[in-house]
Amino acid sequence: MARFVITGTGTDVGKTVFAAGLCGLIGASYWKPVQSGLAGNVPNPGRTGEAPGSHGAYTGRAPTTPASLTDVAQPGSDRAEVARLSGAPGHPETWMLREPLSPHRAAELEGVTIDMDALTPPDADPLVIEGAGGVLVPVTRQVLYADLFARWQIPVVLVASTGLGTISHSLTALESLRAREVPVHGVAFVGDPNDDNMATIGQLGRVRVLGRLPILPDLDRATLAEAMARNFERADFA
């Protein structure tokens, strides 16, 4: 099965752009279980799919059947960006939250309780799933994203920058994943060339280096598809 979780060494390392590129490369659909940071775009935050409950949040779960792929992505969401950059169909988020914070805190501020049992990946193949921030971002005050990945047992691609600090950040993320017995598929880099950093992480982290996505000054569907095809092997994600 070509199903992958995309996580990162931290915020703003290029996870969403890489996720879009991978969707285009392997023809996958896309799912982000919890989307935060949609202030002004979410009329009733919370769990999607049904009418708002008494606390003002959606209380029903979004369907994850193929028919749900017709659902329209919220402007400003990562699902909308992935669709723009790849044309990939997207599965509705299970929770949508207004504040640009870690899911656990954004949910608390809106009176939303994230039910971990509802965070079940769609029955789709190929599928690209994107987490939020780094591997140890809290989903709730009891569960980190790395814990969620361990539950799913879907191979993880760690997205890392090529610049200063990436060695420590990447090795820390890899150790956190392996401590929970999360299957690690490899590391994908985003940024300017830095062969030594990439090789060092591959060696010390005992991990496959999948490739490097350069910074694209004109980022659109065509330039991303071309860069992915040039810098990554489709067979590595079969």
Give Cα separations from 62 to 76, 93, 94, 128, 187 (angstroms): 19, 7, 6, 17, 31
Exactly one of 8, 10, 32, 177 is catalytic; name it: 32
Residue 39's pLDDT band (cuts 50, 70, 90): confident
Confidence check: pLDDT of 112 > 80: yes
Q: Report whether 32 contacts 79 (CB < 8 A).
A: yes
Over residues 176-211, the pLDDT tens digits come to: 999 999 999 999 999 999 999 999 999 999 999 999
Residue 51 pLDDT: 32
Closest CA to 96 of 147, 15, 29, 37: 37
CA–CA distance, 210 with 215 (Å, rounded to integer): 16
In the chain, the percentage of residues whose pLDDT exceeds 90 is 84
Residue 40 pLDDT: 61
Residue 68's pLDDT band (cuts 50, 70, 90): very low
Confidence check: pLDDT of 69 > 80: no
Over residues 44-64, the pLDDT tens digits come to: 545 544 333 322 333 323 333
Q: What are phi and psi of 215, to 5 degrees?
A: -70, 125
Burial 101-127 (b: 16+ CB within 10 A, else e): bbbbebbbebebebeeeebebbebebb
Q: Report whether 152 contacts 127 (CB < 8 A).
A: no
Tokens found for residue 220: 């659109």
Q: Mind listing the domains of the chain with CATH numbers? A: 3-237 (3.40.50.300)
* Active site (annotated) includes residue 32: yes
Residue 26 pLDDT: 98
Residue 163, Ramachandran bin (φ over 0: left; ψ between -120 and 50: alpha; else beta): beta
pTM attached to this predicted model = 0.89
Q: Report whether 64 contacts 123 (CB < 8 A).
A: yes
Averaged pLDDT of the chain: 89
Confidence check: pLDDT of 90 > 50: yes
In the chain, the percentage of residues whose pLDDT exceeds 70 is 87
